[in-house]
Amino acid sequence: MSATAVAATTDEAVAGVEDGSTVLVGGFGLAGMPFDLIDALIRQGAGDLTVVSNNAGNGDVGLAALLQAGRVRKVICSFPRQSDSYVFDALYRAGRVELEVVPQGTLAERMRAAGAGIGAFYCPVGVGTPLAEGKETRRIDGRVHVLEYPIKGDVALISAHRADTLGNLVYRRTARNFGPVMATAAGTVIAQVTEIVPAGEIDPETVITPGIYVDRLVRAEARRFTVQGAR
Amino acid sequence: MTTIPTAERAERGPLSTDELAARIARDIPPGSYVNLGIGQPTRIAEHLAADAGIVLHTENGMLGMGPAAQGDAVDPDLTNAGKVPVTELPGAAYFHHADSFAMMRGGHLDVCVLGAFQVSQHGDLANWHTGDPDAVPAVGGAMDLAVGARRVLVMMKLFARDGAPKLVPACTYPLTGAGCVSLVYTDHGVFEPGPDGVRVRETYGITVAELRERVSVDLLD
């Protein structure tokens, strides 16, 4: 990919996202959720989106706000139902959003495969369950596996902790989650970070996502949202 | 094959949730890498001996997870699989989601403990979806854990609120995994499912004879 561009605003960072895009959205619950990029995407106006994320929104912020704005046609995720997923739950029950449930590790690996140029892979997860129905299977080393295809995004919106001007990313604690995987798996990768430092100021040994994967960077303040009712 | 005799403890009542958590904790070998499922299994952590060297894995990318965070220690960037703010222990490690689930599928995780709606006598697990058309299906990491962890333990009540047994001849709810459960720990007993039926290891507040009346699975002698 070409060099990472540092955007002045989140609106500039999400410019050009087209209707009908597949958008990978980082985060696990609210940890690692790219709140500011999603708010900018709502202002930008792209609709009819397929969103790939672990959950389907918490409370009224982040992915839930995008859903509430009516921009999402389909959600591909592992765990939509949570203590505070009332926005998604209502849309789903009203038949206003499609849902594809994917086992969490398979979701991650399908994106990893997309980013790594793997055509498909056999995975033992889900065998004998409704989530494997209709999929090709093969017995390998005595165990049945199902064939899983990559998930590639047109756009990925992720959140990291720090970046340098070349787009090298460092994450913080469990907010890392899907970020490094999604960063490899989309045509345009957009990262929001709390700090952008000159190249050379991040120890190369600690870089988690190398800048080759990151197209656009923008600085945004850390939020301190936690999931309400989590137990 | 040697048969371990059933420890029948009918005179005492069924185990409380805390007693059940402690009972499971006793069976987790020192030095194990363990994933505790969301909900009741997280309470097992309170009963693990501090000097046992057991390392907790959380699917959202951490080994060495500590207890729930309180007050100023709450950090929105550090949660468990249930999105509850937690803490890190010395020697903790963070990693991304593809690595976290590679640890499961790759056979690196010694034990997981999951809740269940139903377990069949052959060790099939149903714990993600009731099949109710109005329910929002959500699987999370349950299928990955069921297939990947070297030993899958279930923590559940033996009977549902309506009195229906949750240990069943065949699951009526959609499966999470087939033949994956090693042991089932319940308030009324500990059960070992297998190809020929269920071995009763222990009972609490119920006799084996009473169990035969109330559950319809094949209980081995």
Query: What are A184-224's pLDDT values in tens digits?
Result: 999 999 999 999 999 999 999 999 999 999 999 999 998 87
Query: Å from B37 to nearest chain A CA?
Result: 11
Asked if the structure places residue B219 within a domain, the reply is no
Residue B221 lies in a domain: no
pLDDT of residue A231: 64
| Residue B113, domain member (yes or no) | yes
Please report whether residue B220 resides in a domain.
no
Q: Which of A116, A119, A107 is nearest to A80 (CA)?
A: A107
- Look up the pTM and report it: 0.96
Q: Which two tokens stand for residue B181?
A: 């459960």
Q: H or E element: which one contains A182?
A: helix A179-182
B100, closest residue in chain A (CA to CA): A105
pLDDT score for B3: 64
Give CA–CA dist B209/B221, Å, rounded: 11
Domain range enclosing B61: 7-214
Task: Express each pLDDT in A116-130 by its tens digit.
Answer: 999 999 999 999 999
- pLDDT tens, position by position, B36-63: 999 899 999 999 999 999 999 999 999 9
Nearest to B97 among A92, A178, A231 (CB): A178
**B188 occurs within a structural domain:** yes
The band of B133, judged by pLDDT with boundaries at 50, 70 and 90, is confident
Average pLDDT (A135-147) is 97
Strand partners, A164: A197
B chain contacts of residue A208, beta-carbon cutoff 8 Å: 96
Whether B59 is a known active-site residue: answer yes
Interchain CB distance below 8 Å, B96 and A126:
no
- Inter-CA distances, B62 with A152, A186, B24, B120, Å: 26, 25, 22, 31
Residues of A in contact with B124 (CB under 8 A): 128
Q: Are the CB atoms for B97 and B58 separated by under 8 Å?
A: no
Question: For all residues of chain B together, what is the average pLDDT?
Answer: 95
Catalytic residue among B11, B19, B46, B59: B59
- Residue identified by tokens 């949570």 is A82
Tell me which residue in A81, A111, A178 faces B136 most closely, judged by beta carbons.
A81
Give CA–CA dist B155/B187, Å, rounded. 9
List all residues 6 or more positions away from A25 whose beta carbon is below 8 Å from its beta carbon.
A33, A34, A38, A51, A52, A53, A63, A156, A157, A182
Among B35, B62, B63, B79, the residue to mutate for chain A (most A Cβ within 10 A): B79
Q: Which residue of B has its CA nearest to A159?
A: B77
Tokens of residue A37, six digits:
């990029």
The predicted-structure confidence for A46-58, as pLDDT tens digits, reads as follows: 999 999 999 999 9
Residue B101 lies in a domain: yes
Please check whether residue B35 lies inside any domain of the structure.
yes
- Residue B1, pLDDT > 80, answer no
Could you give the dihedral angle defined by the CA atoms of residues A76, A78, A80 and A83, in that order, rounded to the nearest 10 degrees? -160
Which chain A residues touch B85 with a CB distance below 8 Å? 226
- Whether A1 shows a pLDDT value over 60: the answer reads no
Min CA distance, B87 vs chain A (Å)? Answer: 10
Cβ contacts from A onto B, under 8 A: 163
Of A164-178, B23-37, B127-141, the poorest mean pLDDT is in B127-141
- Strands annotated E in A41-128: 49-52, 72-77, 98-101, 121-123
pLDDT band, very low/low/confident/very high, at A71 (cuts 50, 70, 90): very high
Which value does ipTM take for this structure?
A: 0.96
| pLDDT score for B221 | 76
CATH number of the domain that residue B74 is part of: 3.40.1080.10
Residue B27: strand, helix, or coil: coil
**The pLDDT of residue B106 is above 80:** yes
**H-run or E-run covering B111:** strand B111-114
Residue B126, in any domain of the structure: yes
| Tokens (6 digits) for B106 | 């790759």
Which of A99, A123, A173 lies nearest to residue B78, judging by beta carbons? Answer: A173
d(CA B21, CA B42): 9
pLDDT of residue A224: 77
Domains present along chain A, CATH in parentheses: 5-9+20-119+151-219 (3.40.1080.10)
Reported confidence tier of residue B128, pLDDT bands at 50, 70, 90: very high
Number of domains in chain B: 1
